[in-house]
Structure 1
Amino acid sequence: MSKNPLSEDPELGDDALFQKDADAVYQELLARIGEGHPQPRLAATRRVVELLGDPQRSYPIIHITGTNGKTSTSRIIESILRAYGLRTGLFSSPHLVRVNERILVDGEPITNEAFVANYRDIKPYLDMVDAELRAAGDAPLAFFEAFTALAYASFADAPVDVAVIEVGLGGEWDSTNVGDGQVAVFTPISLDHTARLGNTVALIAATKAGIIKPAAAVVTATQPETALAELERASELMEASLAVQGTAFELLSNTVAVGGQVISVRGLAGTYDDLFLPLFGDHQAQNAAVAIAAVESFLGGGEQTLVGDVLTEGIATASSPGRLQVIGIEPTVIIDAAHNPDGARSLAAALGTYFTFDEVAIVLGVLDDKDARSIVAALAPVAEVILVTASSSERAVPVDDLAEIVREVAPETSVDDYDTPGEAITAARAWAEKAPRRGVVITGSITLIGDALVLAAAEGWTR
């Protein structure tokens, strides 16, 4: 991802004055141990925030983990809270194009000026902890550890009324867990990052359950039985209340509509009908149900019905960039950050329900720590042709290797390979232009989605 510019937006206005400094900060952060190698420790981040005066304790936190749907659910929660008039902070990862996307204040990426100023404020403390860690024979702060401290400090500086914090990886030892979430939210849990989190759903769930704090409100999507057992165990241990989708709350219905879908949800404290959600996919309707229950838990302890007009606004203005997002027309080009098998299955299902393509070309790039074979198996049935490429990430599976996987898993699907995302996307768009009702879907990794957005903006065909 370091090959992507921090920003290529010529319309940043006064913020462009701080672009060079912001680029320098980002490069300094990138010089640390990367996100592909997270440190399974919490003490280092805890030491930084202690030196900073524990900024994460200056506002309430809604903490979110899971395997799929974390970012979308986080963004829907934030949108509803903002509709209530609260000043919100949102921390998510990774970014698509600009690193500022990871730290949102009131729904907007942090300005370059604030990004630089807040980093300069905390840098002496990062250096101090780096020195302490080296003296103890440990690795200095990693990228995500330093960035988490920056996010918490930025929200305190804003200041925000509430922060919605998305876990980077796992939960128990994730850097974000130095914050204590009054509400702990769990999206669906499945196998991913098995080398770090464990090779069973139960082990992964146990690690993620580490974000549950004493007396917290816990809201969870429908889970596999073994995962739910771990959440129940942790909730009981922490004397936390547990609300499970399907019993305590549920999605009553969702209907395809122009630009998204109309949903009805039975929440913890009320039923909310005919809400327009401008996101595609049945899974996004499920994410919205979880988000509503989380906001109910935060604002009224799960016992106070949300204000109808405010909820309607919050749902209707929610967005989730890079998730079944249409970025081009004539031909239609869709990007989706499906980077694991469950995400790929959700994408394949949504294409058949929410779009009317006769044929689809899939531009695919996968990172080397992902289950490429299962991703291909999920996508091949909806693909007329798969155009294999490698994103700008150093962790991208080489083109030849990924093409071989596609040919082995989907021998009846046409496969082409391209050295760069630009070449693959250009070829896919040319293919789609040759016949009506053809579409292009770019997927497989978040870094590939970022590459696609940069290309679309540069060539002027983005929506």
Structure 2
Amino acid sequence: MFTTYKEALDWIHARLRLGIKPGLKRMEWIMDRLGHPETKIKTVHIGGTNGKGSTVTYLRSILQEAGYTVGTFTSPYIEQFNERISVNGKPVTDQEILDLTNVILPLANELEETDLGGPTEFEVITAMSFYYFANNPEIDIVLYEVGLGGRFDSTNIVQPMASIITNIGLDHTNILGNTHEEIAFEKAGIIKEMTPIFTAVKHPGALKVIDEQAEKKEAPIYRLEQEFSIGAHESISKGEIFTLRTNGDILEKLEISMIGQHQTENAALAISTVLYLIQHASISVPEQAIRNGLKKAYWPGRFEVLSENPLVIIDGAHNDEGITALVHELSTRYANRNIYIIFAALKDKKLDKMIAKLDGIAAQISFVSFDFPRAANAEDLLKISQSANKFAVEDWQPYIKEEISHLPPNDLLVITGSLYFISEAKPIICQYLKNMTISL
């Protein structure tokens, strides 16, 4: 048994050595030993390539605004590990993490001795979350974000009230498949019998796969631009405004505070799901709660403006779809400014297209290394870039501070790439910006 939070966290993180082990048998074994806590909570299950965390946030914020106590399970974290298991947006305490780890530890040790092998880091955290939410009587509903894929993801033991697939992109191809259709099949694994599925998938082949799986499971399907649609979209200085049309409702001039056209799609998925739950799951959510919840929704590290002067933005664009959305927003909103980019990535990503798109808008692009087992080397990233003004930097902390301090008044600095890097960099950048303000 562990006696400190640090011991517990070190043990959890040490399980990264087991890598990714797709399959549900270990989770089912643990759930059985815990008395199946996953059956004792009301859930919504959210998968997809990009937009999962934002969609979870919109859902949570709307339901919370309507007076519900909402649990969330998300990954990875941006500011602290504990936020992966949260209630109404507030991470569980260090003591709760310690207590939960001590519940799972003996089961993990026992499982290690079986043919199934020990649970991975993600399986341990997922099991902790199920136990926590099932034993917290204040929780009304829990939003579960898929970790990787869907079909064999450890969260896929839930029997949700509704499922969501945000979009499909070519990410984690070494595990999920090399085509949109193959990846869609894995994502569609979260579709359950007779359970509604909401999706913003646009790729025709991927959507066809989802349609087929929904039909096979007799699951009602609600698709962007078919059963619900977005209109009258307008970008504003601190967010987006749009109208949502469903088969039964029209909600005009909805406002979100997260930036990006893609965020209107994530918000539309959340609203459409809520409207379904109102009709079919005895959930009561007034229209004003939808409006207020959308506007209040905040998810760190997603086109987040850390400072207006100097203009510093961070964005966890860690795959081709994320970079495409980022480039679109930067080129639309800041067409008349020089854009300085600092980029870090994991080496198992498809980096050539991502870097080419960043090259296309950057007045200067710098590549940095960071301390993570799968992190790409800055020099390797530099070799991929075709930019005329590019740099490779090993020690990113002083470099970012220097770039901020020397940023010309009308230009902007964008720190982007791996969410693991963003989570490491954000608190350091924020502290430096705070110190700058104090010294002025």
8 Å contact 2:27–2:154 — kept in the other structure? yes
State the partner residue of 2:346: 367
State the partner residue of 1:151: 129
What's the TM-score, normalizing by structure 1? 0.89
The RMSD of aligned alpha carbons is: 2.1
Of 16, 25, 45, the match for 1:43:
25
8 Å contact 1:52–1:122 — kept in the other structure? no
What is the Cα deviation at residue 34 of structure 1? 4.8
Spell out, residue by residue over 1:165-189, the C-alpha distance to the aligned partner (whole angstroms, 9 max, x if none): 0100000000000112221101110
Of 221, 225, 228, the match for 1:242:
221
Evaluate the alpha carbon distance shift between residue 139 and residue 303 of structure 1 in structure 2; reply closer, same or farther with a 3 A threshold: closer
What is the Cα deviation at residue 344 of structure 1? 0.2
State the partner residue of 1:450: 423
Of 338, 350, 355, the match for 2:329:
350
SS at structure 1 position matched to 2:113 = helix
The aligned length equals 434
1:53 and 2:26 equivalent?
Answer: no
State the partner residue of 1:30: 13
Query: How far apart, in 1, do the equivalents of 2:299 and 2:3 lie?
Result: 28
| Stretch deviating more after TM superposition (155-164 or 360-369) | 155-164
Of 423, 437, 457, the match for 2:398:
423
What is the Cα deviation at residue 357 of structure 1? 5.4
Spell out, residue by residue over 1:92-115, the C-alpha distance to the aligned partner (whole angstroms, 9 max, x if none): 101113101111111211111222
8 Å contact 1:181–1:211 — kept in the other structure? no
SS at structure 2 position matched to 1:363 = strand
State the partner residue of 2:120: 142
SS at structure 1 position matched to 2:348 = coil
SS at structure 2 position matched to 1:179 = coil
What is the Cα deviation at residue 317 of structure 1? 1.1
State the partner residue of 2:262: 283
- 1:15-94 to 2 correspondences below 5 Å: 21-34=4-17, 37-94=19-76
Query: How far apart, in 1, do the equivalents of 2:322 and 2:397 lie?
Result: 23
Of 162, 182, 185, the match for 1:183:
162
8 Å contact 1:296–1:305 — kept in the other structure? no
8 Å contact 1:363–1:428 — kept in the other structure? no
State the partner residue of 1:9: none
What is the Cα deviation at residue 31 of structure 1? 1.1
SS at structure 1 position matched to 2:28 = helix
Query: How far apart, in 1, do the equivalents of 2:135 and 2:23 lie?
Result: 26
**One-letter code of the match for 1:263?**
F
| Stretch deviating more after TM superposition (142-151 or 107-116) | 107-116
Query: How far apart, in 1, do the equivalents of 2:69 and 2:285 lie?
Result: 18
SS at structure 2 position matched to 1:145 = helix
SS at structure 2 position matched to 1:176 = coil
- 1:26-425 to 2 correspondences below 5 Å: 26-34=9-17, 37-132=19-114, 136=115, 138-159=116-137, 160-301=139-280, 307-355=286-334, 358-406=337-385, 410-412=386-388, 414-425=389-400
8 Å contact 1:367–1:445 — kept in the other structure? yes
What is the Cα deviation at residue 49 of structure 1? 1.1
Query: How far apart, in 1, do the equivalents of 2:55 and 2:125 lie?
Result: 21
SS at structure 2 position matched to 1:180 = coil
8 Å contact 1:356–1:437 — kept in the other structure? no
8 Å contact 1:70–1:166 — kept in the other structure? yes
Evaluate the alpha carbon distance shift between residue 330 and residue 108 of structure 1 in structure 2; reply closer, same or farther with a 3 A threshold: same
1:438 and 2:420 equivalent?
Answer: no
| Stretch deviating more after TM superposition (170-179 or 322-331) | 322-331
SS at structure 1 position matched to 2:4 = helix
Among the aligned pairs, what percent are the same residue? Answer: 30
Spell out, residue by residue over 1:28-69, the C-alpha distance to the aligned partner (whole angstroms, 9 max, x if none): 10111358x311111001110111111111111110111111
